[in-house]
Structure 1
Amino acid sequence: MTQATLPALLAQARARYTQREIADHVGKDIKTVRRWEKGETPCPAMLGPALRLLLATGNASSARRTGTPARFSFIDLFAGIGGIRMGFEAEGGECVFTSEWNDFSKKTYLENHGADHTFVGDIVSFPAEDVPAHDILLGGFPCQPFSIAGVSKKNALGRPHGFECATQGTLFFDVARIIAAKRPTAFLLENVKNLLSHDKGRTFDVILQTLRDELGYEVHYRVIDGQHFTPQHRERIIIVGFRGKTSFSWDDLRLPEQGPRLASILHRTDGGEPRLPWDDGRFFDHAARCVQPKYTLTPKLWAYLQQYADKHRAAGNGFGFGMAYPDSVTRTLSARYHKDGSEILVHQGEGQRPRRLTPRECARLMGFPDTFRIPVSDTQAYRQFGNSVVMPVMREAARIMTPHVEALLSSNGEPAATPPRDIALVA
C-alpha cells in the first residue's frame, strides 16, 4: 500500500461508513479522520490494513446505521461476547435487546457492538413484559440440571402443570418465560452436544416438551461441528423453532467437507501478519516477525504436561495434552485454556517447547474477524472465546432460518400463532 493510494481507500470507506465509525475502528478521533479526508494531514501507513479489514468484514449493523433497513429484529440472551449476534447481523438482523451478566464479557461486547438499545445484566430478575418486541430470540443458555420431580405425580393426580414446574430454577426457564410472553416468530438456542444425553436424555425431553407442547413451536435441532468452518473440532447442538408451519430443513446447510487447517489462523511469520492498531503488538512482534515469547510454555509447565501425559498413557487412559500442527484441526477450545493451554499446544519445531494460541488466534479459531477488539486481559479473553460460539456456524444457521422467518412475517403481517397450553408464569 503506497501513500498515494491511502486517500482513495479512505474515500471507499467513507462511502459506506461515517467519520465516527471509521474513527472508532482505527482508534482515532473524528477530527483526525476529517483532516485525513481533507488532505490536511497525511494518512498514516497503519490506515491501509485497518481500512481493508473494515471494508472486508464490516457487519450489517454498520450498514443499517447508514440507511439500510433491517430484515428482522432479534434479542441476544446470555450474549457472551456476541458471537451469535454477529451471525444474525451478517444476514441483515438488528439487535434490539441484550442480556449478559459477566462484567468482563459485557466490556468486550460493548467495545465491539456498542449499546444503542437496552442492555441488562441478569435476565433472571428482568420482567418478561419489559423485553421489547422482536422477531427472533437468540440464546446460548447455560445447561443446568433440570428438576422434574413432581411432574409425574401431578400427572397422576390429573393436575395441570406448565413448563415452569419442570424448568423453574434453571436458566432455560427464563428463555421459556420470554418466549411465552413475547411470542417471537422464531428462536435459536445453542448448547453443548451433551445436552442431548444429560440425565439419560430426560433434560432434553423437558426442553422439547416445553418448546413444542407447552409453547406451541415447530422445533428442529441438529448437532453441528465447527470444523466445517474453522480448524477446530467443536460440536454444539442448535435448536431452532418457528411460530407457524414451515418447510425448514437442516439439509439446506452448506457444510464444506474439507474445512480450513490450523495454519489459516496462526500469526504469519513471513511478513504477512496484518498490523492491527487495536492489538498494538500485544500478541505479535512485527519487528521480529514472531509471536510474543510469553505464549511459549515455560520449561517447568512443559515438563509437567509431558509427565502427566506419560502417567495416564501408562495407565491406559487417553488424557494428555493436544499437540496441534499447521495442517491439523485442533481439539475444542475450552474456557479453562488460560490455565495451561494443554488442549491446544502449537508445535514450534523439534526440540522446541510448544506455545499456547494467542487470544487473537483464539478469536480467529472461533471465526471472529480481525476487526474484533480484545479489551480484556489474556485470562479473560481465553475464557470468553472458550465459552463462545463458532461464529460462521451461527451465520449459516441464520442464513437458512431467515427466509422462513420472513415468510411467516409476511403472511398476513403475522404468522398464525399456536396458543401456548397450560402456561401459568410465576413472578
Structure 2
Amino acid sequence: MSEFDSVAQQLAAQFRQREQHQLAEDAQLLHRVLEIYDQKTVASCLRNVSQHEWTREALNRWLNGKSKPKALSEAEVLMLQQMLPSPPAHHPDYGFRFIDLFAGIGGIRSGFEAIGGQCVFTSEWNKHAVRTYKANWYCDEQTHRFNQDIRDVTLSADPSVSEQEAYQQINRLIPDHDVLLAGFPCQPFSLAGVSKKNALGRAHGFECEAQGTLFFDVARIITAKKPAIFVLENVKNLKSHDKGKTFRIIMETLDELGYDVADAQASGARDPKIIDGQYFLPQHRERIVLVGFRRDLQLSPGFSLSQIHTLYPKARPSLGELLEPTVDSKYILTPTLWKYLYNYARKHQAKGNGFGYGLVDPTRHDGVVRTLSARYYKDGSEILIDRGWDHALGEADFDRAENQQRRPRRLTPRECARLMGFETPHGKAFRIPVSDTQAYRQFGNSVIVPAFAAVAKLLQPWIKEAVSKRRAD
C-alpha cells in the first residue's frame, strides 16, 4: 500500500466518523422537536424548506430505522432549531438559579427568567403541558433537568424510604438553587396521630402531618436544598380548605423548616397574600402567594406583597384589545348548546340562584371577565363573547333566525393565552402545540403571568442580596 493509499483510507475513515456524528446530531435535534410537535406538523414544516419528500410516514420510517438515515440539510436544521425556544438573555453580572415545580406551562417561570434567573430544574407531570412548556421555555439538557413525576425525586410514594434516603435522592437529582417556585395542587391533609407515627418510628412535624400531599414533596425539597427564597402559589380557597386545617399545617411546616413567610399575620379581605389578576388583565382571578425567606440568612426585612400595587400597569388592556379580529366558526356555540345554557340560566334565575353563563360585551373598556377555568373546553360558559344577541327578546323569540346568527362564541386558545398574559396581541406569539381541549385546560390551570412577573420584580433586591451572600460564602 502506497503512502497516498494510506492517507486516503484515513481521510475516508474521518469522513465516515464525521458523517455518523452528523447523523446522530440530526437525530437528536429531530427527537427534541418531536417531543413537542406531532409528526404531521414537523413533516409539513420540513417540506416548506426542503427538496425531500417529507411525509408523516417517511418521518416515522426514518425515526424507527426502517429507512436509510440521511443527514439533514442546513435549511432543515435551521427550521427545526426555530421550532425550539431560544436561550434567554441572562444578566451576566447578576444571575440566580431557580427551580420550577408543578410548572404547568411556565406561567411563574416567565417573570423570574425576565429578571435574570436561570431555570435549572423543572417538574411537571402532565404530558400535554410538558409539550407546551418545552415549546416555549429553553430546556438545555446540559444546564437544565426535566422531571415529570416529582415523587420519583422525593420518593414520597414509598413509605419504606427513610427521610435521609429521600434527602440524599433529592440532592442527587435537583441542582442547587437560590429560589424555589411551586404552584402545588391543593390536596386534603391527613392528620395522622402522633402515637401511630411513634409506633412506626417516624418523625413528628411536617413529615408526619403533611404526608400524602404534594405539599409534602415541596417541603422535602425545601428541607434538602434550603433555597434562600421560595414562592408558593395556590387557589385563594387554600386558606379555608378543610376548615383552615390545610393552611395551618402549611404555615406551621414552613415555620418549622426555618422560613419567615411575608405578610404571614395578614388576613381578611385585604390580605396582601391574595393577588387578583384583574389589576393586570381584564380577568378576575385570585391566587394566594406565599413568599418565604430563609431565617438564618438574615436577609433585609421589609418585603411585603402589599407593594405590588406599585407595579400595576397604567393602562390595563381591555378584553376587546385581546381578541382576534376574525375567528373560526367552530368557536361559535352550536344552537343546541346555546339553548341549553340559556334555559339552564333562566331556570336558576327563577329560583333566585346565581348560576348561569358569563356573557361579556367586548366593546366595554372597563369590563372584567370571570375566572377562566380548566373546564372551559366543555362549554365555555364562564366567558362567552357577545356577538350582538338581542337580550330584550323573550324565550319565544329565542329561535328567530336573525338572533341565532348572533349566537355567542368561546374564546379561542390564542385569546386565552392573551387573557392569561402569555402573549400580547402585537408581541411574540406563545406556541400552542396541543389540541384546543388541552390548551383550554392548560390556560385554565395557569396563573396570570404579569401578576407573577410583578412578584418577581418586587423580590429582585432580596434575590440579589441572597446571591451576594452565597457568593461571599
Q: Trace 1:210-221 onto structure 2 (pairs within 5 A).
A: 210-212=253-255, 214-220=256-262
Decide whether the 8 Å contact of 2:374 with 2:440 is kept in 1: yes
Q: In 1, Cα distance between the equivalents of 2:444 and 2:194?
A: 35
The answer as to whether partners of 2:88 and 2:138 remain within 8 angstroms in 1 is no
Matches within 5 A, 1:185-264: 185-212=228-255, 214-220=256-262, 222-243=273-294, 244-245=297-298, 246-247=300-301, 248-253=303-308, 254-256=311-313, 259-264=316-321
Instruction: Report if aligned partners of 1:331, 1:344 keep a CA contact under 8 Å in 2.
Output: yes
> SS of the counterpart of 2:111?
helix
2: CA distance, partners of 1:334 / 1:322 = 12
Q: CA contact under 8 A between 2:88 and 2:113: conserved in structure 1?
A: no
Shift of 1:162: 2.4
Deviation at 1:402, TM superposition (A): 1.8
Q: CA–CA distance in 1 between the matches of 2:217 and 2:224?
A: 11
Query: Which residue does the alignment assign to 1:4?
Result: none
- 3-state DSSP class of the match of 2:345? helix
Code of the residue aligned with 1:164 in structure 2: it is: E
- How high is the TM-score relative to the length of structure 1? 0.74
Report the Cα distance in structure 1 between the residues aligned to 2:383 and 2:472, rounded to whole angstroms: 48
Q: Which has the higher contact order (CA 8 A, sep 6+)?
A: 1
- Tell me the equivalent position of 1:380: 438
Deviation at 1:102, TM superposition (A): 0.6
Verify: 1:133 aligned to 2:176, yes or no.
Answer: yes
Question: Which structure has the bigger radius of gyration?
Answer: 2
Confirm whether residue 304 of structure 1 aligns to residue 355 of structure 2. no
Aligned to 2:78: none
1:72 to 93, 96, 117: 96
Q: Does 2:363 match 1:267?
A: no
Letter in 2 for 1:306: Y
Per-residue CA distance 1:212-252 (angstroms, 9 max, x = gap): 1x110111250000011111000000111111333212232
Q: How many residues were matched structurally? A: 341
| 219 and 255 in structure 1: CA distance in 2 versus 1, 3 angstrom threshold | same
Where do 5+ consecutive residues of structure 1 fail to align? 1-19, 33-50, 52-58, 269-289, 416-427
Q: Which residue of 1 aligns with 2:134?
A: 110
Q: How does 1:385-396 map onto structure 2 within 5 Å?
A: 385-396=443-454
Hey, what does 2:422 align to over in structure 1? 368
Secondary structure of 1:334's match? coil
Quick one: distance in 2 between partners of 1:128 and 1:139? Answer: 16
Label 1:152 to 1:211 Cα distance change in 2 as closer, same or farther (>3 A). Answer: farther
Shift of 1:178: 0.4
Specify whether residues 108 and 70 from structure 1 end up closer, same or farther in structure 2 by C-alpha distance, changes over 3 A only: farther
Distance 2:203 2:418 in 1: 49
Amino acid at match of 2:179: I
Partner of 1:6: none
Q: Note if 1:147 corresponds to 2:186.
A: no
TM-score by length of 2: 0.67
Gaps of 5+ in 2: 1-28, 34-41, 50-81, 154-168, 264-272, 390-402
1:170 to 206, 209, 213: 213
From 82, 85, 103, the equivalent of 2:106 is 82
CA distance in 1, matches of 2:381, 2:244: 31
Return the offset for 1:61. 4.5
